[in-house]
A and B are shown apart, each in its own frame.
Chain A
Amino acid sequence: GENVEQHPSTLSVQEGDSAVIKCTYSDSASNYFPWYKQELGKGPQLIIDIRSNVGEKKDQRIAVTLNKTAKHFSLHITETQPEDSAVYFCAANTNAGKSTFGDGTTLTVKP
């Protein structure tokens, strides 16, 4: 079955710096790659996603890149702010709506 590896598990940056989280997937049938932000006591919140026919997508300070050949995808957050502190999850989906999640990255943005 699908396996998603996520790195790093923890990431600490200074406010204003950039943060990068990387994921690798194993199932070549995966064609949709969402990223979620989870804050304490809440469910994961979709922050950006990318489909397999696109190499890069950007939404304000957040961007995602996908390398299908290497089966890698990454989340880039620029100009980080303290409110970006949370746990971030990557996921890989097949057409049938099943998500396999990475283990999460705890991002801490120091003011």
Chain B
Amino acid sequence: KAGVTQTPRYLIKTRGQQVTLSCSPISGHRSVSWYQQTPGQGLQFLFEYFSETQRNKGNFPGRFSGRQFSNSRSEMNVSTLELGDSALYLCASAWDNYGYTFGSGTRLTVV
């Protein structure tokens, strides 16, 4: 079966711009989680959606937001980009709360 698909794979943005990242979960999976991965901070939880509802949110500023559509596809948005937002953004999906499958991520570079 198809895995978790994240688009785009690479992205370069300028400070102050906004960006939208997309995640298509495995078919049938209802839960989608987002993580930020950086060398200094490791894997940090952003938020999790289950059947279009945000169930959990991590400790990130309000510039980071997300949503989930009725087909379980999810997007995350970062507004007013800062240099420190440069990271690998990972999406993971699962049918319920267990056995998450990760995508390959979107590498965001802010210049």
Q: Which residues of A contact B (CB under 8 A)?
A: 1, 32, 34, 36, 41-46, 49, 51, 89, 93, 95-104
Q: Which residues of B contact A100 (CB under 8 A)?
A: 45
Given known A41-B104, A43-B103, A99-B33, contact A49–B98 (CB-CB < 8 A): yes
Cα separation A49 to B31 with both chains bound (whole Å): 18
> From DSSP, what is the main secondary structure of chain B's interface residues?
strand
Cα separation A100 to B43 with both chains bound (whole Å): 8
Q: Which residues of B contact A104 (CB under 8 A)?
A: 42-43
Please provide the 6 A-B residue pairs with the shortest distance between their CB atoms, ordered closest to farther. Answer: A43-B102, A101-B43, A98-B56, A97-B97, A97-B48, A44-B102
Q: Is B22 an interface residue when CB atoms closer than 8 A count as contact?
A: no
Q: Is B101 an interface residue when CB atoms closer than 8 A count as contact?
A: yes
16 A-B pairs with CB atoms under 8 Å apart are: A32-B97, A34-B98, A43-B4, A46-B100, A49-B98, A49-B99, A89-B43, A95-B97, A97-B48, A97-B97, A99-B33, A99-B35, A101-B44, A102-B42, A103-B42, A104-B43
